């Protein structure tokens, strides 16, 4: 079996041939012709699919499993978990992505399985589980750590400092004899309280530092942990040798400030994510055999016949063996118009039967198109690494420098005659001033403010990647159905006698077809307007006009319906239905129907007593502000590309817009992902979509933006989700992200300006740890104030 050279789907017989190979459809051919073949970037869809890879990097030698992993927060976590997984028995390959909290493992099924792999990856603060496992994640753990470790024990320790130690720093006599048993009792309590704060509240910080060392990739956690543990170790040794200059307060301050920032960021993100709780789940788990038995989808085998009733999703790919029905394929193709499927036609798993039952025979491969999309999505998500935070990138180079400066400062103090304790103080001071809390707060505080601002404007930031990628976007790819358009069928115009729409609706009320729903909805709106006009007419002495009486039953035909309305026979449907039924089609009606079809809409012909009298145009209406959004994106210096699974006249209106550089039509979901990959050769790519068919492309893009009017799968794949249907929020997403990114860089700049001043003072002995801690607190306050400004 040959496969498409763009999306790797099976090709028809004969395939669609082009200069660059064989393709499954003309949409893939057009993408290949325009974009050509490019070297896939790191983490590309080709890597996710195992195309053109070494054997040991492909799932061909084993089975692949996708795990969700709780606890990842930086690129260092990716490297650590990949190394841990590769050390497990039977694991052939491992890819992790902290941005998506996901991991892909290729394993030998003869040696291990998913449950053992989850256990092998879990530990050290990480929890791996299969992607369908929705058990509790312990989301309140951070709050407990902060309130108990910080709010209780940390504040108790700080009270002892304020009452007994801080006065001595200003020359006052201590309330107790710090050199006697009272002092020993006080210091022991401080040590115990600080140990709890560092070991409990600071555990995520220490874990991040440990992972950083194990992965040999220094990050911001390691930088801040050096200051906290340095002050703790020095103070512990000083206490044991009888000194009273203890800096446990520095350890507590560092841990609590960073923990507060991370907790605040997590709460804001969780609150924003909660706005997505009403999205629908579309996956089918059970199927009904023709015998009436309900079985799990995975229990179906080739040749099994299943019944799919109106309103149900087709559970698995197959062929129709009985029945004729309109099938809504928008979930997996993006096309808004249902397709009529008859015996012998193929149907895709995940599509919806709308108006009549079908009997479907399961294909030999027994797979679901929707499940394939889900697997493709997870493949892309796990192969694509998360963008490393700016603070972590700086820490990679800064940590070794800090360590050398601390050692150099202590060594210099020894060479100039300082005692070992004094030299250690110099080294500790350098550590503290070099690892300010401002560095640990720079990203979480700015991100939290950005997430909050976005949420207030109806934008949910699902991944920190949005803040780093959005300002760099060069190409914006827009899906058509549900993004540039409303994504549902609606009446655009009515031609014919005044009662045309009302008569059609009276017949269509008993039909479950999406076009029927559009006609009925439009008639209800018109009827409401007529009722108000009638009431005004009656008030002025006019005569009311009665609406057509609904029919008791209808006769459903292929491509239309028929019934009795007010004693007259009414036929509603496709022009060819009128020809088959022998009804007269006047030339003006045919001309109107052709015009409607040529502009990409569906002509619904309405006739009475053997003669066609009117035409209702039904289509997927473009959003009212789509052209303004495109113009705004172009004005900001970004290229706009339209990518859709739909084709024909419905797409042409977007080709004609001067600010749309290219339109790729008729592209399947797998082809959409590869199109995004090829566009990445032009620069940073953002994808905006709403349907499950867009999910692989959303995940493949550098930045994915989904509309919540779509599916859960699309929202799950995106880095940002727009609540509601206001397309202008796309531009606002870029603005909020750019402002947040600017705040992050300003915060980091302040942190390093502080370092440039404080480090030399610490090295020459002009700062002690207490003054360093005070300066550090001041820098942290400035970071918080800067982050709270409007992005």
How many whole angstroms separate alpha carbon 475 and alpha carbon 463? 20
Alpha-carbon dihedral of residues 357, 363, 366, 372, nearest 10 degrees?
A: -80
DSSP string of 375-441? HHHHHHHHHSPPPPPHHHHHHHHHHHHHHHHHHHHHHHHHHTT--HHHHHHHHHHHHHHHS-HHHHH
> CB 141: neighbour CB atoms within 10 A?
10
Burial class of residue 538 in the structure, from the number of CB atoms within 10 Å of its CB (0-12 exposed, 13-18 middle, 19+ buried): exposed
Tokens 């030698």 -> residue: 61
546 dihedral zone (left: phi>0; alpha: psi -120 to 50; beta): beta
Question: Catalytic: which of 5, 479, 486, 719?
Answer: 479
Who contacts 37 (Cβ-Cβ below 8 Å, separation ≥6)?
20, 678
Enter the tokens of residue 98: 């902290």
Who contacts 531 (Cβ-Cβ below 8 Å, separation ≥6)?
none
Clarify whether 375 is annotated catalytic.
no
Q: What angle in degrees, to the nearest 10, is found between the helix axes of 203-215 and 248-273?
A: 90
Alpha carbon of residue 607 to chain centroid: 48
Q: Is the peptide bond before 14 cis (omega within 30 degrees of 0)?
A: yes
Tokens 């419905």 -> residue: 650
How many whole angstroms separate alpha carbon 699 and alpha carbon 705? 10
Backbone angles phi, psi at 43, to 5 degrees: 75, 30
In order of 169, 227, 412, 759, 764, the CA distances from 422 in angstroms are 17, 17, 11, 17, 12
How many whole angstroms separate alpha carbon 8 and alpha carbon 699? 18
How many whole angstroms separate alpha carbon 701 and alpha carbon 689? 11
How many whole angstroms separate alpha carbon 159 and alpha carbon 571? 85
How many whole angstroms separate alpha carbon 74 and alpha carbon 20? 40
Please tell me what DSSP assigns to residue 289.
E
Active-site positions read 479
């Amino acid at each position: 079996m040959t496969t498409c050279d763009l999306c790797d789907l099976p090709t028809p017989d004969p395939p669609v041939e082009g200069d660059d190979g064989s393709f499954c459809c003309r949409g893939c051919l057009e993408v290949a012709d325009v974009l050509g073949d490019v070297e896939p970037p790191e983490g590309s869809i080709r890597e996710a699919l195992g195309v053109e890879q070494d054997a040991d990097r492909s799932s061909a030698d084993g089975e692949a499993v996708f795990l969700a992993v709780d606890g990842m927060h930086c690129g260092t976590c990716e490297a650590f978990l990949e190394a841990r997984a590769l050390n497990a028995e039977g694991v052939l390959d491992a890819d992790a992505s902290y941005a998506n909290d996901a991991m892909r493992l290729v394993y030998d099924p003869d040696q291990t399985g998913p449950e053992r792999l989850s256990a092998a990856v879990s530990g050290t603060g990480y929890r791996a589980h299969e992607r369908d496992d929705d058990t509790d994640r312990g989301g309140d753990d951070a709050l407990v750590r902060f309130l108990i470790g910080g709010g209780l024990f940390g504040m108790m320790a700080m009270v002892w400092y304020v009452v007994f130690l801080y006065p001595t720093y200003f020359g006052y006599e201590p309330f107790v004899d710090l050199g006697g048993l009272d002092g020993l009792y006080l210091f022991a309590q401080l040590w115990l309280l600080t140990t709890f704060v560092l070991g409990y509240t600071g555990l995520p910080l220490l874990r991040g530092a440990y992972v950083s060392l194990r992965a040999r990739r220094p990050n911001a956690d390691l930088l801040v942990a050096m200051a906290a543990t340095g002050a703790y170790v020095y103070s512990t040794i000083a206490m044991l040798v009888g000194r009273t200059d203890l800096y446990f307060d520095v350890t507590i301050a560092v841990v609590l400030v960073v923990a507060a920032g991370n907790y605040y960021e997590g709460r804001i993100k969780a609150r924003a994510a909660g706005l997505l709780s009403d999205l629908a789940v579309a996956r089918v788990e059970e199927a009904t055999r023709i015998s009436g038995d309900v079985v799990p989808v995975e229990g179906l085998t080739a040749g099994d016949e299943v019944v799919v009733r109106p309103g149900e999703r087709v559970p698995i790919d197959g062929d129709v063996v009985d029945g004729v029905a309109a099938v809504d394929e928008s979930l997996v193709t993006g096309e808004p118009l249902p397709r009529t499927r008859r015996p012998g036609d193929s149907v895709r798993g995940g599509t919806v039967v709308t108006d009549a039952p079908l009997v479907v025979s399961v294909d030999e491969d027994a797979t679901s198109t929707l499940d394939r999309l889900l697997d493709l999505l997870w493949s892309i998500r796990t192969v694509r690494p998360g963008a490393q935070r700016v603070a972590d990138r700086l820490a990679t180079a800064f940590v070794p420098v800090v360590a050398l400066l601390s050692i150099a400062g202590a060594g210099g103090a020894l060479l100039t005659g300082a005692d070992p304790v004094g030299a250690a103080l110099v080294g500790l001071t350098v550590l503290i001033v070099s690892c300010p809390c401002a560095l640990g707060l720079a990203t979480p505080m700015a991100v939290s403010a950005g997430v909050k601002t976005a949420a207030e404007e109806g934008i949910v930031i699902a991944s920190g990647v949005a803040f780093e990628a959005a300002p760099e976007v060069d190409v914006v790819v827009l899906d058509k159905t549900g993004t540039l358009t409303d994504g549902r069928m609606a009446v655009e115009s009515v031609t014919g006698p005044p009662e045309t729409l009302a008569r059609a609706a009276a017949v269509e009320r008993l039909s479950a077809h999406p076009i029927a729903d559009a006609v009925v909805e439009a008639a209800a709106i018109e009827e409401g307007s007529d009722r108000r006009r009638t009431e005004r007419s009656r008030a002025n002495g006019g005569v009311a006009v009665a609406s057509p009486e609904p029919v008791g039953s209808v006769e459903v035909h292929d491509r239309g319906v028929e019934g009795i309305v007010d004693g007259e026979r009414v036929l509603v449907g496709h022009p060819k239905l009128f020809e088959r039924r022998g009804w007269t089609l006047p030339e003006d009606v045919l001309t109107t129907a052709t015009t409607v079809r040529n502009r990409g809409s569906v002509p619904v012909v309405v006739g009475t007593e053997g003669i066609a009298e009117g035409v209702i145009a039904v289509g997927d209406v473009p959003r009212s502000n789509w052209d303004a959004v495109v113009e705004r994106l172009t004005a900001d210096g970004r290229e706009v590309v339209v990518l859709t699974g739909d084709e024909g006249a419905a797409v042409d209106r977007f080709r004609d817009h001067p600010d749309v550089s290219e339109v790729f039509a008729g592209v399947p979901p797998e082809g959409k992902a590869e199109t995004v990959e090829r566009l990445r050769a032009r620069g940073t790519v953002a994808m905006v979509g709403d349907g499950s068919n867009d999910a692989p492309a959303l995940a493949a893009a550098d930045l994915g933006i989904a509309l919540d009017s779509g599916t859960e799968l699309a929202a799950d794949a995106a880095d940002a989700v727009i609540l509601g249907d206001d397309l202008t929020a796309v531009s606002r997403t870029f603005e909020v992200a750019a402002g947040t990114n600017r705040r992050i860089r300003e915060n980091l700049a302040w942190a390093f300006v502080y370092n440039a001043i404080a480090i030399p003072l610490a090295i020459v002995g002009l700062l002690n740890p207490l003054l360093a801690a005070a300066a550090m607190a001041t820098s942290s306050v400035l970071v918080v104030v800067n982050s709270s400004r409007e992005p």
